[in-house]
Chain A
Amino acid sequence: MSKVKTNSWQLLITMTALSITISLYLIFLYVPSERIMGIVQRIFYFHVPSAWVGFLAFFVAFLCGIRYLARREARWDAVENASIEIGVLFSTIVLVSGSIWARPVWNTWWTWDPRLTTTLVMWLYYVASLLLRQMVEDKERKARFSAVLSIAGFINVPVVFLAIRLWRTIHPVLFTTEGAAIEPSMLLTLLSSLLSFTLLYLCLLLIRVGLASLEDELNNLKLLSTLHSPEGVE
């Protein structure tokens, strides 16, 4: 690994650690509890950034999918796959934290709110697309299918959201689109938390892509050790 690469990697790790520490301070010590919901409302600062990262991750996968189909370079597939895995992870956090939050506040574990439902549908779809990867032998075909799926999935997100919103015309509106409803201290905490999660996403993405290239190298070595000379195939 080059020196520049190592340095910027260390910088990213440091920034992420710092940002997470600050966010944790803001969330647990600085920001006041919400008047009606009480302490449980602080899950908001994990829930919303996780949702953001999930969305960002699927968006990155969508871009990488297009890029892969246009260029056919294996690294775009590696980034895309890593991003989907991380997206699924953070979507899981969204669903779980949403449930934990909904229980005391709405007195139910689950509500068919458009945002939650869209997340659930997306989660199911991307888990299925990861499963599909397992089911395809050929590496190149796996990458192509995966690219098409990540493009289709992301394009479909707004349609799913619209459909679910139309379906549930009466749904609990938690956050209106006008950001003015949120108190400045809460906004600061939320922004800091968003930054931390985004940095964390970048770290995880880089680590996962690095891991994938190590896996690749390992397979290569295994192959070389079984075959003395590269053998042709019909």
Chain B
Amino acid sequence: MTRMDSEQQNTWAVETKGLSKFFGHIIALHEVNIKVPYHQLVTIIGPNGAGKSTLMRILSTLSRPSRGQVYVDGLDVGKWGAEIRRRIGYATHQPLLYNDLSVRENLRFFGHMYGVPDLETRIQQLLAKVELLDRQHDTVRTLSRGMQQRLAIARAVLHSPTILLLDEPYAGLDQHATELLTHLLHEWLSSGSTILMTTHDLNWAARISDKVLVLLNGRLVHQTEASALSEKHIRELYRQYAGGGL
């Protein structure tokens, strides 16, 4: 592990330098440079097709960058895939769960894969947090969209990752679940996690996060502290959005 430690430049939770991603001739990301500090909630906003999900997939090592350097928790994604995957939690609009297994069995499977200590207690705790305790023995197939989303988030944090990557975590959640998730995000933040998430809701992003990044057509066009976002600023950004073909 010493070699790995020497590689770590632990200033940023997530750092990309000149990150580009091509799908054939299509440019999904173009020269993206971002820096996400530790212990903050950073939101990436942008219209559909801006490249948000592509970026999240690269950070979670599901997808390879075509060009540029990407470091997660100080580790190069090209070299330390397995180690990065241990330190991150990733949730997306697909639940990534087994429909034929029960809620608890799903979490148990992923818990075994991560080697989570004292797994049953951890599962019990998490299920209570995402309010799925009474459905724990039902198969995932029978859960509603919103419940599956909550379970997917529980799966993502099962192994207590230091960095959470959440791709549109609010999609499909009702009012109550939205409040629940916001509460949980703040709880995780105060316990030392770093959260990077995507959304297309600018107002919401400004309200809950520390920092906002704006992605348009695969380019990072704006990077600002959320506190610096004024009403006027937001309106200006919306206009840019519209120009970007929303």
**A contacts, CB < 8 Å to B:** 138-140, 219-220, 223, 229-234
Q: Which of A230, A231, A232 has the most CB of B within 10 A?
A: A232
Instruction: Indicate whether B169 reaches chain A with its CB closer than 8 angstroms.
Output: no
Q: Is B205 an interface residue (CB 8 A)?
A: no
Give 18 new A-B contacts, CB below 8 A, not counting A232-B217, A234-B50: A138-B23, A138-B24, A140-B23, A140-B24, A223-B26, A230-B26, A230-B218, A231-B26, A231-B49, A231-B217, A232-B27, A232-B49, A232-B51, A232-B54, A232-B218, A233-B49, A234-B48, A234-B53
B79 at the interface (CB under 8 A from A): no
Note all chain A residues with C-beta closer than 8 A to B23: 138, 140, 233
Report the nearest B residue to A230, measured CB to CB.
B27
Q: In whole Å, how far is A136's beta carbon from the nearest beta carbon of chain B?
A: 12
Q: Which residues of A contact B218 (CB under 8 A)?
A: 230, 232
- Return A89 CB to nearest CB of chain B, in Å: 27
A-B contact count (CB 8 A): 42
State the B residues within 8 Å of A (CB): 23-29, 48-54, 217-218
A233 touches B217 (CB 8 A): no
Q: Which residues of B contact A139 (CB under 8 A)?
A: 24
B48 touches A219 (CB 8 A): no
List chain A residues, Cβ under 8 A from B49.
231-234
A199 CB to nearest chain B CB (Å): 34
| Chain B min CB distance to A205 (Å) | 24
Contact B25 A219, beta carbon cutoff 8 Å: yes
Q: Are A223 and B25 in contact (CB under 8 A)?
A: yes
Cα-based distance from A232 to B50 in the complex (angstroms): 6
B25 touches A220 (CB 8 A): yes
**In contact, B25 and A233 (Cβ under 8 angstroms):** no
Min CB–CB distance A69 → chain B (angstroms): 13
Query: Which residues of the partner chain A approach B50 to less than 8 Å between Cβ atoms?
Result: 232, 234
Q: How far is the CA of A229 from the CA of B50 in the complex (A)?
A: 13
Could you show 19 A-B contacts with beta carbons less than 8 Å apart? A138-B23, A138-B24, A140-B24, A219-B25, A220-B25, A230-B25, A230-B26, A231-B49, A232-B26, A232-B49, A232-B50, A232-B51, A232-B54, A233-B28, A233-B49, A233-B51, A234-B48, A234-B49, A234-B54
Question: Chain A contacts of B51 at CB under 8 A?
Answer: 232-234
Chain B residues whose CB sits within 8 angstroms of the CB of A231 once the complex forms: 26, 49, 217
Residue of B at shortest CB range from A137?
A: B24
Q: In the complex, what residues of B have CB within 8 A of residue A220's CB? A: 25
Give the docked Cα–Cα distance between A139 and B22 (Å): 11
Q: Shortest distance in angstroms between B56's beta carbon and chain A's nearest beta carbon? A: 10
CB distance from B230 to the nearest CB of A (A): 28
Question: Which B residues are CB-close (under 8 A) to A138?
Answer: 23-24
Q: Chain A residue with minimal CB distance to B29?
A: A232
Q: What is the CA–CA distance of A227 and B26 in the complex, to the nearest angstrom?
A: 10
Which B-chain residue is minimally distant from A216 (CB atoms)? B25
Q: Which residues of A contact B54 (CB under 8 A)?
A: 232-234
Instruction: Give the chain A neighbours of B24 by CB distance below 8 A.
Output: 138-140, 219
Contact present for A232 and B25 (CB under 8 Å): no
Q: How far is the CA of A140 from the CA of B22 in the complex (A)?
A: 10
Chain A residue nearest to B27 (CB atoms) is A230
A229 to B216, CA, bound (A): 13
B246 to chain A, nearest CB (A): 12
Highest count of chain B CB atoms <10 Å: which of A220, A229, A231, A234: A234
Q: Tell me the nearest residue of chain A to B198, going by C-beta.
A: A234
Minimum-distance CB pairs A-B, first 4: A232-B218, A230-B27, A232-B51, A232-B217
Residues of B within 8 A of A232 (CB): 26-29, 49-51, 54, 217-218
Q: Which residue of B lies closest to A222 (CB)?
A: B25
On chain B, the residues within 8 Å of A233 by CB distance are 23, 26, 28, 49, 51, 54
